[in-house]
Each structure stands twice: as structure tokens, then as C-alpha cells.
């Protein structure tokens, strides 16, 4: 190998080693910074009580380990943007956490938070464009939880009705039973139990679960008739 080629090879190797060392250093600094942020959030969570939403929702409750395929219109543009941007700071949320009336203010608050902290604690976060923010607002409101209209149900004070309200209002707005069919509700309730377990909440036993499912099925949406 000629001397010029050797020098070029050494320069390439030296550059590669330098880039690797810089990458390791930056990653180390990033991990240290993230650790400090996590400790700050942990301390705050011990002293600052969550603010309830108008529906009684604990605004900090986000299902842990939510499968992106479980999102409404999972292959759509809105769900894709939600998966891309929102998991940078917390677990993947679902539109069912809030009602359509609540989501615009929540999205605006997230947008303001990201804008005010970008370059600081959110230096590594990809910022949505204004168009993407609009898409996210539309997606969340279009697929939001349909809250319970108490005037439409006369048996909410029954044991099954009270169990349904108590259990289903822990993590999101109490849902309207009529938004799903009797066939759909058991699978949805089982998925919600998994979210409760991941969130560290008390998971209802089989008897309580059946009470909730029975109430939801009693007031469920009619099945579509096949033509």
C-alpha cells in the first residue's frame, strides 16, 4: 500500500474513532440528563396532586404498554402522528382518555409545553409542524370517548350501574355503553383491565368484571344486520 493510501486510511479510521467517541460521550450526557429529569418528575409526583378534568379524569393516567394497533384507525395518518410524537415524552395515549370537548385544550397545553421547553429538557424531541398539530387535534376529537349521558339511563343507581361507573371512571371519562356492541364489550373490558394492571391500579375480580360487562351489554349498540 502506498504511503498516500496509508495516510488516507489512517485519516478515515481516526475520523471514525472520533465520531464513535463523540457519540458515546453525547449518549452518556443524554442519559445523565434524562435521569435527572426522571428524578425531578418523581419528586414532583409525590408533592403535586393531579388536577381532575371536568369528568373526574386523573389527567396523568396514560395506559402503559398500549399497542399502537389498538388505536382507532390504527393505519391512519392521525394514529401514525400520535405514535411518532407523543411517545417521545410519555406512554402512548389513546383518544378514549378524554371526550371531544376536552381534547382541544389538552392538545393546546401539550403544544405550549413542547414549545416552551424545546431546546432545554426537550432538546432531543421532534416538534410537530402546525399541520401535524391540526391533524392530531382532529384525530383525538374524532375518536374521543363518548361520555355517559346520565339522562339516558334509569338504572345507574343499581349495583351493576354503580360498579360500572366506579370502575370505568378511574382512568377516563365514563363511557356511553351505546358506543359499542354487546359482542365488542367483553374484549374492550379485558383490554382495560390490562391497562389498569399496568398502571398499578386495583384490578377487578371476575365477578366484578362480569357485572360491568353485563351492564354494558344491556345498553350496548345493536349489531349491524347483514344484508
Domain ranges of the chain: 8-48, 68-142, 150-218
What does DSSP assign to residue 109?
A: H
Q: For cell 414532583, name the residue.
A: 44
Alpha-carbon gap, residue 80 to 70, rounded angstroms? 12
Q: Is the pLDDT of residue 49 over 60?
A: no
Q: How far is CA 199 from CA 2, 143, 167, in A?
A: 64, 22, 14
Query: With contact defined as beta carbons under 8 Å apart, do 99 and 169 qualify?
Result: no
**160-195: per-residue pLDDT in tens?**
999 999 888 877 778 899 989 999 999 989 888 887
Choose from 25-39, 59-73, 82-96 the range with maximum mean pLDDT. Answer: 82-96
d(CA 138, CA 134): 6
Supply the Cα-derived Rg of the chain in whole angstroms.
24
How much is the mean pLDDT over the chain?
A: 79
As given in the structure block, the three cell numbers for residue 4 are: 498516500
pLDDT (mean) for 14-34: 59
**Listed range (52-56, 89-93, 205-209) with the worst mean pLDDT:** 52-56
> Which residues have CB under 8 Å from 178's CB, separation 6+?
146, 152, 219, 220, 221
61 contacts: CB under 8 Å, gap ≥ 6: 97, 170, 171, 172, 199
Pick the more confident residue, 217 or 56.
217
Given the C-alpha cell 376536552, which residue does it identify?
Answer: 102
Instruction: Check whether 199 has a pLDDT greater than 80.
Output: no
Is the pLDDT at 40 greater than 70, yes or no? Answer: no
Q: How far is 213 from 191, CA to CA, in rounded Å?
A: 12
Whether 203 has a pLDDT exceeding 50, the answer reads: yes
Range with lowest mean pLDDT among 48-52, 72-76, 192-196, 209-213: 48-52
For cell 414549545, the residue is 115
pLDDT at 198 (0 to 100): 77
Amino acid at each position: 500500500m502506498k504511503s498516500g493510501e496509508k495516510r488516507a486510511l489512517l485519516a478515515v479510521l481516526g475520523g471514525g474513532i472520533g465520531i464513535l467517541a463523540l457519540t458515546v460521550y453525547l449518549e452518556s450526557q443524554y442519559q445523565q440528563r434524562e435521569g435527572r429529569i426522571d428524578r425531578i418528575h418523581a419528586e414532583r409526583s409525590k408533592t403535586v396532586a393531579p388536577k381532575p378534568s371536568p369528568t373526574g379524569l386523573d389527567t396523568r393516567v396514560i395506559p402503559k404498554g398500549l399497542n399502537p394497533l389498538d388505536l382507532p384507525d390504527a393505519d391512519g395518518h392521525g394514529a401514525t402522528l400520535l405514535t411518532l410524537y407523543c411517545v417521545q415524552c410519555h406512554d402512548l395515549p389513546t383518544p378514549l382518555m378524554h371526550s371531544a370537548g376536552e381534547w382541544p385544550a389538552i392538545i393546546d397545553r401539550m403544544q405550549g409545553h413542547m414549545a416552551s421547553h424545546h431546546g432545554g429538557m426537550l432538546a432531543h424531541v421532534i416538534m410537530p409542524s402546525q399541520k401535524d398539530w391540526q391533524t392530531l387535534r382532529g384525530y383525538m376529537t374524532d375518536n374521543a370517548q363518548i361520555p355517559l349521558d346520565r339522562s339516558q339511563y334509569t338504572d345507574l343507581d343499581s349495583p351493576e350501574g354503580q360498579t360500572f361507573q366506579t370502575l370505568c371512571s378511574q382512568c377516563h371519562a365514563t363511557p356511553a355503553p351505546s358506543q359499542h356492541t354487546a359482542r365488542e364489550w367483553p374484549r374492550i373490558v379485558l383490554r382495560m383491565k390490562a391497562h389498569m394492571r399496568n398502571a398499578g391500579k386495583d384490578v377487578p375480580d371476575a365477578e366484578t368484571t362480569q357485572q360491568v360487562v353485563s351492564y354494558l351489554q344491556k345498553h350496548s349498540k345493536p349489531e349491524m344486520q347483514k344484508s
